[in-house]
Structure 1
Amino acid sequence: MGGAMTNLFLCSIGPVQEFIATARRSRDLQYGSWMLSELSKAGAKALADKYGIGSLVFPAPKTPTDLDPKSNLNVANKILAIIEGDPADAGEIVLQGVRRRLDALQKEAFQHVQNAPFDGELAEKQVSDLPEFYWVSVPYEDEKQYVQSRHTAESLLAARKNTRNFRQFQGKMRPKSSLDASREAVIPEEAYPNWRHDSEATIQRKIRNLYNRYGARRGERLSGVDLLKRLGSKGQSFPSTSELAAQPFLQGLDNEAAENLLKSLEMWFTDCEIQIDEKNSVLLYPGRAAEYLNKPELQEEYEQALERALSLYAKDRHPGAYYALLIADGDGMGARLNQMQNPEMHRRFSQSLSAFAEQAKAIIKKHQGTPIYVGGDDIMAYFPLHTALACLQELETVFRSIADVQSTLSGGLVIAHHLTPLSEVLKLARAAEKEAKGVPGKNGLCIVLNKRSGVARQIVDHWPDLNARLNVLTGYCRAKIISNGTAYELQRMYHTLDKADLPPDALSQESLRIIQRKRESGGERDLPPDVRQKLHKWLKDDGLRVDELAMEMVVAVEFAAAQDMAKLPLNPVQGKEKEDGIS
């Protein structure tokens, strides 16, 4: 008899999109993304323990410790390996590895509610039913077959995932989860305030207990899976969207003023015997503070106290309300993988992407952002507005410089209000990423400005070009070269004259005239020659339409306001203006 057959084994571990889409809070999103990576990493480790670390093609850890629980390595939801023997055994090994890790994470999370009432049996069933696991294999005889074998395996896996497994319903007749209507809540209803019959003291006690025991807000019904995400992240620091929106404002204050401002707001709640379960910077927003105040009169009193504190410590300045969320990934990665002629080339490719992921995390943190998920060529992160452009520029430049990858990055950035539901922001970001992928030749960037009132505004172009223009326009806005109303007048002019039979250069010349006339400062001085030349080049030589320039100005105003609020140093363009006496 011959030796055991060699197989190319490919598996997928989920759920991914459904699990991420149910996130209501930033900590849910971060922990959920991290947990999915941990499950994939556990599956890869189980394969490596059985068949050797050299059997793994993707991921391609450099050392066995890279696959240890809570290591820095992020693993995508697919595992590719070359194995000897029955692939069904490999499938079972991966599944058991995933289940062991999920069981450990569940125990770690649920230990926080050991002394609190909840339906533990239902919660454990819901968590146990969570993993979606699919595997396929194809015979693999030598490296000459690698490209074709991998392509066949990918096609088979896509077909297998289209025939989903449907398990028997394990729920009970009780209220549904607030986050995911497909699962039932496991926290007893008596744990929630009864607004009609409970006393004020009882209401406040129940609200505190909901957070301290379950990580739940008042009115939040949580399933076992929701509890896993909420309690699994207990003790970890995840900035909320409100904290990110407040960062430019707090950075613009001196340290003592910022500290005293936040302490005064926290003391107000302490005096009212109301517990806050987040960083006190969320108290800068009356809408967030109202979540802890169940009486209209208390809300009114707090708003007055907030205004007094802002007047005293911030000279009546108010924090901005917007932050940025980015979703990006590499272009043409499937085509690049098809160029991998053998497993060793694929491993080097995988390791280069893992190295970029570590760099990307450091870049995001350097710019005061928070990585939600960074693995391989996939990036999901959020950051404050005043650092967004610099972070975008650095991420794109570093990715493009990776020699073994030889690809570009495309992404969607959403500028969103801190109170906009996270699920809605994620949808917008994914749609923006799709728009960016439609840029000819890719390396696209699509930015969506999603104000709470009015329609969303969208700009899209090649990433380096758009990033560079926004940097310049933001500088012009900060230097008062461009006024806040200029963009809207340009839009009106464009819609009025676009269809008219005008000389080719007429629209660009009229645009420059409008920009000159709308200048907020500098009296009747002309536009600086370099500014006029730059704008004329964009409109005439680079083919930028007037309405596109106007939309980019609208977006640049948001970045400029955040940078001004954070008191960032003036860039060279702004510095030149100040030397000319224009401020």
Structure 2
Amino acid sequence: MSEKQMVVFSIGPVQSFIASARKTEDLWSGSFILSFLIERAMETLCSQGLKVEFIYPKASEDDLNPMKKTGYNANVASWPNRFTAFVNGSLDETTNVLKKVDSVVRREFNKICHYAINEVFPKHIQTDQLLKQANHQIEQLLEVYWVVQPYNGHYREEKSTLEARLSAVKNDKIYHQLIESGFTCTVCAQRDALCMEPFDQYETIYELKNKVKNTWKHRNEKFKGTDEGKDDGRIRDNEYLCSICLGKRVARDYFKEVYRNASSFKFYPSVIEIAGKYTYFAILSMDGDNMGSWFNSNTAEEAGKVSDALATFSRRVVPEVVRKEEGYLVYAGGDDVLAFLPVDKALQVANELRQKFGMKGSGLQGATASVGLVIGHKKAPLQLLLQEAKKLENRAKSYVHQEQNQQKNALAIGIHTRSKKHETVVPWQIDGMQTSDLLNEIIELLTNDLSDTFIYRFSEVFLPLNDYDSKDKHLMVEFELRRLLRRSMKVKKEEKELTNILEKLMALYKSMESVKSFVMLLRMLTFFKRMEKQDKGGNNHEDDNA
């Protein structure tokens, strides 16, 4: 009988748990809690006296030691929500250990949520009703799944079998009915807000709200506004949270104590602080392409090399790149990245992360990634922009260009002003040029050399012909672009320089899905043009004209 077991362990839910966020801090804490729980699971597995080898993600004892979590990236959610490992021990021993790991994960999550309740509410508010309500919500949330089987040396086949078993376990899960009859949590809108008094099914919404309001007005002073009459506290007067969302809101305080590292767990900045001098900010969502094929390795050694490369990228490269450009990471787990960025650095960071992801030494050599980049107003609903960033990432992963035989490996950009919404997709490389470099050249061109009527006149001619299918269409576009370039240049240029500009515009046009997409991109680039002008001291009129 094999004395070596193969294990896959996962924690969820992921997207719904992270995305239930009203503030940037909620978003960060949702990601960090899941990362922390998987870290605790791996640490517990290693502490049970059996030899453990992690395949994905790669982890050493130092990596899992809370006291070694220091430096500027200590608060980065860098663990994915699952791990694959070999455990030296019998099937019964390993199964018993995994049951303990499962229990530890659930207990840790319970501790996070109850820590928040103790921090926020005085003891006399923590009635039996409130604690019973909280415990019910906490017990219902976590989805912990794991499978184990003897390992006989056939990594690829046995890993495939293990994944199939894990999927079967998830599909066979028992759905617990969560009956909620009170006033809904103002963050997730899924569970009831915590209340010290029981709800009555015959009460009006006004009566329910008054009960909840009476509970939350007793929250401790440090969670209220700092100035009298100014509702700027960590929990505002119109916020009523369930136990899960409250746990997320206060999680930073909990992790300060766990890691004994207060400096790394300061306040997560608001979108207004991230936007800085601009009215807009960016959200970047990145995902590696075809990662299943990379992990479909023949041997554990090959899979380990992939894990090593992704660990370098997510734990070292991503935090450095984002921090260097004054951005803020939400998570960087393997090939998945979510970050807030200043609008003027967004294209630069997106390009640098994509290039380093596919390079030896900083990522997974030869791998590609697709990125969704949404630029939104700093007063726009955060959840809406997060949903748009994920949609754009999916759109980038769906990119196909038949003529150039390109799939995925693309950048989807969306600009959401307060009155309009523009979106389009471009590949990362166009005719051997980095797309970001090409876009920046065109932004410079629009800023310094072309009149404001250039895009308007091109749109006027070609948008009506968007559905017109002809082999001469490229020639028609090229002819009109050349004519408009000549007419729109603020200062006349030599024919050779004009031809060089035209070639770059045509390369960009040919990479697009349609004329409409090309026009959309040009209009979006005028938004960045206005950002540059604002950077140089000009007026900011970007709200309605992008």
Q: TM-score under structure 2 normalisation? A: 0.79
- Aligned AA (1:543): K
Point out the more displaced range, 44-53 or 5-14.
Answer: 44-53
Q: Is the 8 A contact 1:389 1:467 kept in 2?
A: yes
Distance change in 2, residues 1:484/1:70 (3 Å) = farther
Structure 1, unmatched stretches of 5+, are 195-202, 250-319, 569-583
Matched residue, 2:188: 180
Matches within 5 A, 1:328-477: 328-339=286-297, 341-357=298-314, 358-402=316-360, 405-406=364-365, 407-439=367-399, 440-462=406-428, 465-477=434-446
RMSD, aligned α-carbons: 3.1
- Aligned AA (1:122): Q
Please point out which of 490, 508, 511 is paired with 2:481: 511
Counterpart of 1:233 in 2: which secondary structure?
helix
Aligned residues: 476
Distance change in 2, residues 1:52/1:369 (3 Å) = farther
Q: Once the 2 structures are TM-superposed, how far is the Cα of residue 384 of structure 1 from its aligned partner?
A: 0.9
In 1: Cα distance, 2:518 partner to 2:495 partner? 18
Matched residue, 2:170: 161
Q: Is the 8 A contact 2:62 2:68 kept in 1?
A: no
- Aligned AA (2:420): G
Structure 2, unmatched stretches of 5+, are 197-209, 216-223, 254-264, 400-405, 538-546
In 2: Cα distance, 1:239 partner to 1:204 partner? 17
Point out the more displaced range, 49-58 or 174-183.
Answer: 49-58
Q: Once the 2 structures are TM-superposed, how far is the Cα of residue 559 of structure 1 from its aligned partner?
A: 2.1
Matches within 5 A, 1:422-571: 422-439=382-399, 440-462=406-428, 465-479=434-448, 481-497=449-465, 499=468, 504-519=474-489, 521-522=490-491, 525-526=492-493, 529-539=496-506, 543-544=510-511, 546-567=515-536
Matched residue, 2:403: none
Point out the more displaced range, 503-512 or 424-433.
Answer: 503-512
Distance change in 2, residues 1:478/1:193 (3 Å) = farther
Q: Is the 8 A contact 1:56 1:81 kept in 2?
A: yes
In 2: Cα distance, 1:243 partner to 1:376 partner? 28
Q: Is the 8 A contact 1:328 1:412 kept in 2?
A: yes
Q: Is the 8 A contact 1:508 1:540 kept in 2?
A: no
Matched residue, 1:139: 150
- Aligned AA (2:108): R
In 2: Cα distance, 1:158 partner to 1:69 partner? 35
Larger helix proportion, structure 1 or 2?
1
In 1: Cα distance, 2:229 partner to 2:142 partner? 32
Point out the more displaced range, 554-563 or 185-194.
Answer: 185-194
Q: Is the 8 A contact 2:213 2:240 kept in 1?
A: no
Q: Is the 8 A contact 1:191 1:206 kept in 2?
A: no
Q: Is the 8 A contact 1:435 1:460 kept in 2?
A: no
Q: Once the 2 structures are TM-superposed, how far is the Cα of residue 485 of structure 1 from its aligned partner?
A: 4.2
Counterpart of 1:178 in 2: which secondary structure?
coil
1:309-358 C-alpha deviation (Å, 9 max, x unpaired): xxxxxxxxxxx42211111121111101112x322332232122111112
1:265-309 C-alpha deviation (Å, 9 max, x unpaired): xxxxxxxxxxxxxxxxxxxxxxxxxxxxxxxxxxxxxxxxxxxxx
In 2: Cα distance, 1:82 partner to 1:450 partner? 47
Distance change in 2, residues 1:173/1:193 (3 Å) = closer
Point out the more displaced range, 406-415 or 83-92.
Answer: 83-92
Counterpart of 1:543 in 2: which secondary structure?
helix
In 1: Cα distance, 2:346 partner to 2:287 partner? 17
Q: Is the 8 A contact 1:192 1:206 kept in 2?
A: no
In 2: Cα distance, 1:349 partner to 1:504 partner? 42
In 2: Cα distance, 1:173 partner to 1:467 partner? 51
Q: Is the 8 A contact 1:10 1:80 kept in 2?
A: yes
Point out the more displaced range, 420-429 or 367-376.
Answer: 420-429
Matched residue, 1:20: 18
Matched residue, 1:40: 38
Q: Is the 8 A contact 1:210 1:218 kept in 2?
A: yes
Please point out which of 268, 282, 287 is paired with 1:238: 268
